Chains A and B, each alone.
Chain A
Amino acid sequence: AIRMTQSPSSLSASTGDRVTITCRASQGISSYLAWYQQKPGKAPKLLIYAASTLQSGVPSRFSGSGSGTDFTLTISCLQSEDFATYYCQQYYSYPSTFGPGTKVDIK
């Protein structure tokens, strides 16, 4: 199975900050990568698919980039509702696998 890693595992930031989360795949996955946001006690919510395509209804301050093995999720101007855990997922090959998550909390 393809192994996904994320860095950092957690970060503290303030409202208005620019935040970047990195995801790396153990082998090339082209652009078959999705990003999810999860808040405590809630189901994950899709933010981005195909590495850089914003899901309908997701604010434009979220963006994704990358291909091959290295990917980034950027939040351009952090809002209070963005404090959550973020997961990347590869769907290049079965079984689909997730990164361990990055928790974004308030500084």
Chain B
Amino acid sequence: QVQLVESGGGVVQPGGSLRLSCAASGFTFSSYGMHWVRQAPGKGLEWVAFIRYDGSNKYYADSVKGRFTISRDNSKNTLYLQMNSLRAEDTAVYYCAKPPGVGATPADWFDPWGQGTLVTVSS
């Protein structure tokens, strides 16, 4: 079955950097665009970024544009999120999420989601 496993979260100071990973299995990763979605503690869900199946196009939420970079390594079935210039408001659980089909767009529904990894930005 499809499995998504995030890693790389932790505590980082404001202005710092962190790279998240999402290891995918159970489907042909190289055929699917992929998303990152986050959830601040006790808050709702916010879409963060999308990358096409071949990495040719990337899309970002305005709140992270210019600071976060989504990428992928199809040879390793892994999705990444490089987060720079981190702010307190970036504190959240970060989920990677798979869209329904190979013709994925920046706006999709998501199924399944990984278990999430917590990023805490604090001094």
Q: Which residues of A contact B (CB under 8 A)?
A: 32, 34, 36, 42-46, 49, 55, 87, 89-101
Contacts and interface: CB of A to CB of B under 8 A. Distances in A.
Interface residues of B, number: 22
B51 to A, nearest CB: 13
Interface string B22-60: 000000000000000000000011110010000000010
B83 to A, nearest CB: 18
A48 to B, nearest CB: 9
A32 B107 CA distance: 10
Given A34-B110, A98-B45, 4 more contacts: A94-B50, A94-B59, A95-B61, A96-B108
Interface of A is mostly: loop
A60 to B, nearest CB: 18
Contacts of A46: 109-112
B114 A98 contact: no
Contacts of A34: 109-110
Nearest to B116: A43
A101 B44 contact: yes
Contacts of B108: 91, 96
Contact of A44 (B45, B50, B100, B105): B45
B109 A91 contact: yes
5 contacts: A34-B109, A34-B110, A43-B115, A49-B109, A87-B45
A91 B45 contact: no
B41 to A, nearest CB: 11
Contacts of B115: 42-43
B9 interface: no
